[in-house]
């Protein structure tokens, strides 16, 4: 797998310092450095482009994607594993050229994949045409602008209005699965499960939608071992801005994630920062000091780069 990220100067400076001890002696042409980070090769080019290559490229890049978002306000990420299938995908007409907000639809979205603490939650929601006015009144159409407090307020109202299926993967289980699967395969398996389950109830839909994290052919390749596979899916980026079913799934997933997160904080009697920043590393060391390394293994996504920094610093 290959992930590319366009970085600003501040992020590049941070990467230079971070990978100082992992750099290779020789670098490719036009590269500032090339480093080996576990199962991933990281190459920073003079253009500002960073390339992560290897089995855990998606995970090795997660921290820097979040860092770039903070430093510059956005991140431009592409997966070259999917480029082989771009030509085929482009032949298909984009359904979002039509009015895609006002349809009967099932949509799915996930949260927690970039958080060192807290579970991964995937939800599929069914939104009918008659649900749309109420959902817009709640502010679902602007779900990205909602604060956690607002999500805690409106998610129970949404869940009473629409049908949905959610799946929560604890970090303990995630750490077991990741021995065989990369993050995108974990997400594909979870999306497939909730979409298949909700479609068994025979909802009347115009579209089944996923907020795209992999091209269609790659997504289905992750499901080769699945007993039941939901097909007929439309894949698109920024889907929660285009479709209320995906937006509802984003909100419900975030709600369940927050409830699990608060329960974990209560159990530890500690405040846990979200994401995978250096603040997370600091709290990780506190957890080891108070509870031991086994507790950290249980409650974190242990394969994240944070673990190495927590243990070695």
Q: At 61, which CATH number?
A: 3.30.310.10
Lowest mean pLDDT among 92-106, 131-145, 150-164: 92-106
Rounded to an integer, the average pLDDT of 109-127 is 96
Per the CB < 8 A criterion, the answer to whether 233 and 195 are in contact is yes
CA dist 47 and 282 (Å) reads: 32
> In terms of domains, do 20 and 169 share one?
no
pLDDT confidence of residue 84: 52
Helix, strand, coil distribution of the chain in percent, nearest 5: 50, 20, 30
Lowest mean pLDDT among 88-97, 129-138, 199-208, 220-229: 88-97
92 against 43, higher pLDDT = 43
Indicate the number of domains in the chain.
Answer: 2
Angle at 165 between CA 264 and CA 255, to 5 degrees: 35
Angle at 176 between CA 298 and CA 237, to 5 degrees: 100
Q: At 143, which CATH number?
A: 3.30.420.10
Q: How confident is the model at residue 90 (pLDDT cuts 50, 70, 90)?
A: very low
Range of the domain at 105: 93-262
Q: What is the pTM of this model?
A: 0.72
CA dist 311 and 313 (Å) reads: 6
> In terms of domains, do 205 and 254 share one?
yes
Q: Is 122 helix (H, G, I), strand (E, B) or coil?
A: strand
For 155-191, the pLDDT digits (tens) are 999 999 999 999 999 999 999 988 888 899 999 999 9
Q: Is a pLDDT exceeding 90 seen at residue 87?
A: no
> In terms of domains, do 60 and 9 share one?
yes
> In terms of domains, do 18 and 48 share one?
yes
pLDDT confidence of residue 215: 85
> In terms of domains, do 37 and 177 share one?
no
For 244-257, the pLDDT digits (tens) are 999 999 999 999 99
Per the CB < 8 A criterion, the answer to whether 186 and 116 are in contact is no
CA dist 218 and 34 (Å) reads: 27
CA dist 106 and 124 (Å) reads: 7
């Amino acid at each position: 797998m290959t992930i590319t990220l366009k970085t600003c100067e501040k992020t590049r400076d941070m990467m230079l310092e971070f990978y100082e001890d992992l750099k290779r002696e020789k670098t490719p042409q036009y590269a500032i450095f090339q480093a080996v980070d576990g199962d991933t090769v990281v190459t920073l080019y003079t253009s500002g482009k960073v390339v992560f290559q290897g089995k855990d490229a998606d995970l090795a890049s997660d921290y820097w994607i979040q860092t770039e978002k903070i430093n510059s306000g956005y991140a431009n990420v592409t997966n070259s594993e999917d480029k082989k299938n771009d030509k085929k995908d482009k032949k298909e007409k984009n359904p979002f050229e039509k009015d895609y907000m006002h349809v009967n639809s099932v949509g799915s979205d996930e949260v927690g994949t970039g958080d060192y603490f807290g579970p991964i939650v995937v939800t599929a929601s069914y939104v009918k045409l008659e649900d749309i006015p109420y959902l817009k009144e709640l502010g679902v159409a602007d779900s990205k602008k909602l604060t956690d407090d607002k999500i805690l307020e409106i998610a129970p109202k949404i869940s009473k209005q629409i049908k949905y299926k959610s799946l929560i993967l604890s970090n303990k289980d995630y750490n077991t699965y990741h021995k065989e699967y990369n993050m995108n395969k974990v997400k594909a398996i979870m999306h497939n499960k909730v979409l298949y389950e909700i479609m068994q109830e025979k909802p009347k839909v115009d579209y089944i939608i996923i907020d795209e994290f992999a091209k269609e052919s790659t997504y289905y390749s992750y499901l080769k071992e699945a007993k039941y596979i939901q097909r007929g899916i439309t894949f698109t980026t920024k889907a929660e801005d285009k479709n209320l079913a995906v937006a509802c799934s984003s909100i419900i997933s975030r709600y369940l994630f927050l409830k699990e997160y608060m329960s974990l904080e209560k159990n530890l009697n500690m405040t846990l920062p979200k994401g995978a920043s250096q603040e997370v590393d600091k709290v990780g060391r506190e957890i080891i000091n108070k509870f031991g390394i086994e507790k950290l293994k249980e409650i974190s996504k242990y394969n994240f780069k944070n673990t190495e920094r927590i243990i070695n610093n």
